[in-house]
Amino acid sequence: MSILLKAPLWVWPLLVLLIVLGLRSTRPRELPDSSVFVWPAIMAALSVYSIAATYGAHPLALGSWLLGMIAAILIGRMLPFGSGTARYDEKTGTFHVPGSWVPLVLLLAVFWSRFAIGVARARFPHVVGTPQFLATAGLALGLCSGSFAARSLALMSLRSSSRGSGASPP
């Protein structure tokens, strides 16, 4: 309990904001195609910042982040991520996306991963610099970032197939 009480105060409003944003994703919505990569870009930047703030440009941390990112994108290409019910409307340039709990889970995974890294830095500084921790932290943050990117790439493939066929998928 003391870990939660000693966290900086700005952490809790951020958590509430992420929960609200994640809950908004549980409802069907329309997304302009220009916004599809906003979340992946934000999540990638935050996770790289977290690694850089903790380890600098350490090759193991950055390499494991990149490995996690690539692995999540490759796995995401094999999973539907709701693309069976999502569709692209070429006339309006928007995606019609079904509601999903996945963005909320991913936002919380990034938040709690970064929170755990912060706790480890404060309570166990001797562990934070070990190769095992470097690789695990980088991999966890890369998997989260890559999952956001995979979802966006799945949507963009709908746009590409829509333009190729001249019609939106049903």
What pLDDT, on a 0 to 100 scale, did the predictor assign at position 1?
Answer: 67
pLDDT by position in tens, the chain (length 170): 678 888 888 999 999 999 999 999 999 999 898 888 898 898 899 888 888 888 888 899 999 999 999 999 999 888 766 556 888 888 998 999 999 898 899 899 989 988 998 888 889 999 988 999 999 999 999 999 999 999 889 888 887 776 655 444 33
Domain assignment present for 24 = yes
Are the CB atoms for 155 and 86 separated by under 8 Å?
yes
Strand 29-32: give its sheet, edge to edge: 29-32, 94-97, 87-89
User: CA 154 from chain center: how many Å?
Assistant: 14
Asked if residues 54 and 121 have their Cβ atoms less than 8 Å apart, the reply is: yes
pLDDT of residue 80: 65
Residue of 148, 129, 128, 17 whose CA lies nearest to 76: 148
Integer angstrom CA distances of residue 48 from 58, 61, 70, 84 = 11, 9, 14, 31
* Domain-located, residue 145: yes
Is 70 inside any structural domain?
A: yes
Q: Is residue 106 part of a domain?
A: yes
User: What's the confidence (pLDDT) of residue 84?
Assistant: 63
Structural domains in the chain (count)? 1
Evaluate whether residue 78 is within a structural domain.
yes
Range of the domain at 61: 2-165
Evaluate whether residue 170 is within a structural domain. Answer: no
Asked if residue 69 is part of any domain, the answer here is: yes
The first and second tokens of residue 166, run together, are: 């001249």
Strands 29-32 and 87-89: unpaired
